[in-house]
Structure formats: structure tokens, C-alpha cells
Copies of this chain bind each other. A is one copy, B any other.
């Protein structure tokens, strides 16, 4: 292989020999597996404290998914995190090729770690991984069908606020924003009528619709799309190329405050680029690749428009277990669009929409299950990467789902 995949493997704190093994693919594309490890579902997280130039401290995550599962966090596609290629051809990838590489990676990893071959295997991820995870899962499934050795013990896949059908996702932002109180009733009704409910494929000569969409754009501009109730902070990182336009116009860029989640993202840069940390993570020394939480200069082509056909294959034809969760305050991939693509596939419902509880006081969200072993659930109050915003709810969810308990 011309590319070298880096990954972070964390054993289950419960029973690593029996607990499921999850191959976790981060979104972006270009976000490192360390981002999921440190901010979402891993056992360690950065301690939020003023950065003073020394190594940022870590603390335990009480809601780590590694309390119930072994997890391999993969830096994928190539160029992400510490993954690299030494050839220019190897550094180029597409959704299709990176899915193939991730599948090869887990086969190879399991061949090297045969003690995990009998553990139930799941593929998981969120955001942009909505396009890759189902393809990787299908490749694994195909490998099993073809009898490729070692035989993988694939049980299913799980996805959070997953990019699936770009049209539905774009089109659901306006009804989502209306439901969340961001648009006025009058403007929403007007846009619905003038644009005929299609806010994506708009005829430019339809002035009434384009005017409404312009007004809507103004209303949603400045919101934090990842969680509409959180502040939108300047993405201040030490990497000048990562400073986006909105930070450039406020010069010099400010360090985000502790109320900003990207304060932690900034700390992760210092942490992961510390030589001691890199040595401990066994990162190669030469050539030194700077770690970025999310890289936006990958040599990458997104060549898959929709992953719905993979869901149909995996869920309806092969009946693999699947969990689709949606942080319900995310405007990047609103829960409405995940509901919509599932509805479009006409799966039969086995257990109707109902609330599920985290504890006596707290509703975790709403869930519905289908006869093809798919579970859809919302995470009440969750954002784009739901475990980052509602760790207890998401841990409860994954723990129950992995152990075949109803949410």
C-alpha cells in the first residue's frame, strides 16, 4: 500500500475479549480519529484550562464508549490526522477508494490481532462518514459473502447526524430552522409557497422564491450550525490557513473563550503536536506531519452522492443491525432529513416513535425501530456530533443498543 493509516486503539474497560469492536471513522472529510477520541466517545478528554504553553492536561471521560466496546479510531482518508502517503498518487483519494482502504485496514488489523476476530464487529462514524461507513460496511459484508479470510464477525453499523442524501439534508434546513424558532411564520409560509417546498433546485427567475431564500439566509447567518443554541466562535487555531474569513475580518484573531468548544480544539492541536505525545502515540518522526484536528487541504474527491442504496442493501437485504442517531439541535444534518430518507425507503416499523429515558428525570430523545433491525433515535439537545453535547445520553444509547436492549 502506498498509504499508511494511523489509528488509535482503545480496549474496552469492561470485557475486551467479549465486548464489541467498533471501527470508528471520523467525518470532515479530514477530521482525525483523535477528534472523536478526545471530544466525543473516547476515554480521555482535554481538560479545559487556560493554555500556558505547556502540554494541555487530559482527564477521564465518564461517558466513554470504551466502557462497553473496543474501539479503533482510524485517521481516514489519507492525509487525515497522522495518516500519510509518500507518493502523490497515494495521497489522492475519493469516498470510494477511502472506503476500500478502510475495509482493507480493518481486515489487516484483525489479521494482526486475531484475538478480536470473534468479537461482534460494528462500523461507526458521524457527519461526512454517513457516506463512507455504509460503503465500508458493505465491503466487509461482501468479503464475508465471498468467504475472504479472516472471516469478519460483522453485526452492523451506527451513524450520527450522518450525511446520507445531500438533497434532503439541504432541503430540510429551512423547515428545521422554522421549527426551532429561527424563521418567522410568515417568511416560512411564503418560502414554502413561492419555492414549492424545494429550496435547493431553485429556478433563478423565480424572484419571489429567491427573495425569500435571501431573507432566510440572513436570518440563519451567524448561527452555530453544529448546535443552534451554542455561541459561534472564531475558529482560532495556531494554523493561519485554518483561520477563516470571519476571523480574518477581526484582526488579530482572538483566542476563543472557555464557552467555545473550539477552545478545546485549539488545545488538541498543542497536545497532539507535542513530541512526547507523538512518541507515545508511535507517530513516525520523518517527515514530520503536523496534526490538525480537521484538515481542509486533502487531495480528496467526494464521488458518492447518496448512501441510501447501501442502507437498503445492508439493512433490508442483509438485515444487519443499524443505529441512526440524530442530535436534534444540529442544523448541518438536521434530524428531519434523517427521518426523511428513512421514510423514503418505506421500511416497516416494528416499534413506533416513543420517548426513551436516560434516568427518571431525563428524556434522552425519541426513537423508532424497523423490522429490518434499524433503530432511529434523536438525542434531545444534541448537536452535530451528539456525544460531544450530550455525553450521558449518547453513552446510554450506545450501551443499550450494543447489548440488544431497547432504548
Interface residues of A, Cβ cutoff 8 Å to B: 178-187, 215, 218-219, 222-223, 228-229, 231-234, 250, 259-260, 328, 335-336, 339-340, 343, 352-355, 357, 360-363, 365-366, 368, 378, 380-381
Contacts and interface: CB of A to CB of B under 8 A. Distances in A.
Contact of A260 (B218, B231, B354, B361): B361
Nearest to A340: B185
Contacts of A363: 222-223, 232
A178 B339 CA distance: 13
14 contacts: A178-B179, A181-B335, A181-B336, A181-B366, A181-B378, A184-B339, A184-B353, A185-B340, A186-B353, A219-B353, A219-B366, A222-B357, A231-B362, A232-B362
Nearest to A379: B181
A407 to B, nearest CB: 14
A239 to B, nearest CB: 20
A229 B393 CA distance: 12
Contact of A185 (B181, B343, B357, B381): B343
A346 to B, nearest CB: 12
Question: Which residue among A179, A180, A361 has the maximum number of chain B CB atoms within 10 Å of its CB?
Answer: A361
B354 A218 contact: yes
Given A179-B181, A218-B354, A229-B381, 12 more contacts: A178-B179, A179-B180, A180-B180, A180-B328, A181-B365, A181-B380, A185-B343, A186-B353, A219-B353, A228-B380, A229-B380, A232-B363
A233 B183 CA distance: 31
A366 B179 contact: no
A29 B106 CA distance: 63
- In the complex this chain forms, how many copies of it are found? 2
A232 B181 contact: no
A228 B229 CA distance: 13
A381 B95 CA distance: 37
A185 B339 contact: yes
A361 B362 CA distance: 29
B180 A250 contact: no
A181 to B, nearest CB: 4
B181 A353 contact: no
User: Which of A185, A222, A260, A363 counts the most chain B CB atoms within 10 A?
Assistant: A363
Contacts of A362: 231-232
- The 5 lowest CB-CB distance pairs between A and B, nearest first, are A179-B179, A231-B361, A181-B328, A184-B353, A229-B381
Contacts of A339: 184-185
A184 B179 CA distance: 13
Contacts of A260: 361
A230 to B, nearest CB: 9
Contacts of A259: 361
A228 B380 CA distance: 9
Nearest to A335: B181
A232 B361 contact: yes
A378 B219 CA distance: 13
A361 B368 CA distance: 36
A185 B180 CA distance: 15
Contact of A222 (B178, B231, B355): B355
